Amino acid sequence: MIWRYAGRRILATIPVMGFVALFVFSLLYFAPGDPAAIIAGDQASAEDIVRIRASLGLDRPFIVRFGEWLWQVLHGDLGTSIFANLPVAHMIGQRVEPTLSLMVLTLLFAVAVAVPLGVLAAARAGSWIDRVIMLFAVLGFSVPVFVVGYLLAWVFALQLDWLPVQGYVPLARGVLPWLRNLVMPVIALGAIYIALIARITRAAMLEVLGQDYIRTARAKGLGSLPVLFLHALKNASVPIVTVVGIGVALLIGGAVVTETVFAIPGIGRLVVDAILRRDYPVIQGVTLLFSVVYVLVNLAVDLLYSVLDPRIRQ
């Protein structure tokens, strides 16, 4: 049953991806800017730029370029970077590990911190503990990632000399060096995510804690922790899972800033650099990748709903 449901959902993503591909290509086609002008540099003439445009094939009609790109993508080829002359797939491959490390660690860190905080705030609703947690949530949501990043770097790198300011060490070179470089980025990026999940967890828990079966469980003499985590949290988990899923999009956006502040060579920086230079194949490749990831995460969330609440499948 669940497999049929999953199959239907996967098939439904195909037109979505097609639309994303067309949208991204059109957006870039009509956006101002020209990679030829950037390759040519400041000393080049207008004629030089025209010649470079022609040599790159950028003077061909929209439909020809889109058709060619789509054909390549359908054959598993994301094209070649206009500037670096390297395959886009290779460039993405170089950047996947840092971004994946950052996102997965941030997600784990945020869920591990935010869910207990949200549960605690709901359990002590109206108390000073609740207020402190919610104050923290408001701050986490309001302070931009780069401000948190700079503050962390100033304290832990420049003042205390505990952690490096920037860079990334691959996991293959040891867990500790890998973690050392990711501690500050994960905290900086996680702050906003913790705030979001903690607030949603608190709201969902408050709704569940007011229900009859919770009162019954307490009347039966169950302790606070089993009531909160075994009875209430499971039923409050659907909105929490939803917001975790939505948060992946936030993470993608936040990763761009975090990777820039901490000079992590991830996909976020790759796409920003590509946008600034109008490296069209790279922008298209990365956007397509982000779209696939986002669609898959949403699919996973939908499937999880049906596990957590079988009524949804009907």
Partner 1 sequence: MPVLGRRAALTLAAGALAAPAVARADAARVLRFVPQANLSSLDAVAGTQYVVRNAAAMVWETLYGVDASFTPRPQMCEGHEASADFRTWTFRLRPGLRWHDGERVTSRDVVASLQRWMVRDTMGQVIRGRLDALEAIDDRSVRFRLNKPFSKMLFALGKSNAPMALIMPERIARTDPFQLIGDYVGSGPMVFRKDEWVPGARAVFARFAGYQPRQEPGEWLAGGKRMNFERIEWQILPDPATAGAALQNGEVDWWETPIPDLVPLLRRNRDVVVDIADPLGNLGSLRMNHLFPPFSDVRARQALLMATSQSDYMEAVCGGDAALWQTTASFFTPGTALYTEDGGELLKGPRRYDAAKQLLAAAGYNGEKVILMVATDMAITKAEGDVTADMLGRIGMNVDYQALDWGTVGARRAKKDPPGKGGWHIFHTWHAGADCINPAPYTALDAGGDKAWFGWPNSPAVEDGIVAWYDAPDATAEKAAAAAINRAAFADVVYIPTGFFRQYQAWRRDVAGIARAPFPVFWGVRKG
Per CB under 8 A, the segment of 78-86, 206-214, 230-238, 303-311 that binds partner 1 is 78-86
Kindly state the number of chain residues that form the binding site for partner 1, as judged by CB under 8 A.
57
Cβ pair 31, 276 in contact under 8 A: no
- Which residue, 95 or 199, has its beta carbon nearer to partner 1? 95
Q: Which residues 214-243 are close enough to bind partner 1 by CB under 8 A?
A: none
Judge contact between 118 and 202, C-beta under 8 A: yes
Does 91 contact partner 1 by CB under 8 A?
yes
CA distance 245 to 225: 26
Provide, rounded to whole angstroms, the least separation between the CB of residue 136 and partner 1. 25
Work out whether 310 is an interface residue with partner 1 (CB under 8 A).
Answer: no
**Considering only residues 20, 21, 24, 52, which one is a binding residue for partner 1 as defined by CB under 8 A?**
52
Within 10 Å of residue 7's Cβ, how many Cβ atoms? Answer: 10
**Crossing angle of helices 88-123 and 233-261, rounded to 10°:** 130
Binding mask 11-50 for partner 1 (x = CB under 8 A): ---------------------xxx-xxxxxxxxxxxxxxx
Shortest distance, position 166 Cβ to partner 1, whole Å: 5
Minimum CB separation of residue 80 from partner 1 in Å reads 9
Q: Could you tell me the sign of the dihedral formed by the alpha carbons of 269, 275, 280, 285, in that order?
A: positive
What residues numbered 148-167 form the site for partner 1, per CB under 8 A?
Answer: 150, 153-154, 157-158, 161, 164-167
SS3 assignment, position 87: strand
88, 81 Cβ separation under 8 angstroms:
yes
Q: Could you please report the per-residue DSSP string of 47-67?
A: HHHHHHHHHHTTTS-HHHHHH
Which residues contact partner 1 by CB under 8 A? 32-34, 36-52, 54-56, 81-86, 91, 94-95, 150, 153-154, 157-158, 161, 164-167, 260-263, 265, 269-270, 272-279
